[in-house]
Amino acid sequence: MSVIFQNPGEQIPDQQVYQQDLALALQAEGLGFDSVWSVEHHFTSYTMCPDVLQFLTYMAGATQSIQLGSMVCVLPWHDPLRVIEQISMLDNLSDGRLILGLGRGTGKVEFDGFRSEMASARLRFKESTEMVLNAIENGYAEYHGEVIEQPRVDIRPRPIKSMRGRAYAAAVSPDSARI
């Protein structure tokens, strides 16, 4: 099940959209759905979920067994170390139910809003993805790249299990697909 918090035309208050979509998401487990997913978007009523990992953490506390999927966490808009910590905390709280989707982002309005250059997003996404996935596997973050410089720090809470087989990336171009 996908929960996307859309309010096209803004016919109802945003809080009502959230109440309705959360009520639907909370029924998913009891109705036999395997997973609940949400997206990350900013600044418009198209999709009002600026923090997909926060939403999934809420769902982790409200459910017992349903898988929790991000489609996607847009890495170029975030500090990858903070994302690693959020992923590790969510995975610990949910007992390993996270399905991690990562992406580069394509919305100009969002890049502009974050004062971020779209031209450098591919490299930031590549380096952030490497750093995030390595940290979850190793239990520490360290990266020395062209745009990311991260001295070694331990991740706490420690990651509880590998993301292998449950981490994916969204891609809309051949170059991004190769990452």
**pTM for this prediction:** 0.94
Indicate whether 174 pLDDT > 80: no
pLDDT digits (tens, 9 = 90+) for 39-51: 999 999 999 999 9
CA 115 and chain centroid, separation: 20
Q: For the chain, what is the largest distance between any 2 Cα atoms, rounded to a whole number of angstroms? A: 49
Average pLDDT, the chain: 95
At residue 10, the pLDDT reads 93
- The CATH code for residues 2-160 is 3.20.20.30
Domain limits of the chain? Answer: 2-160
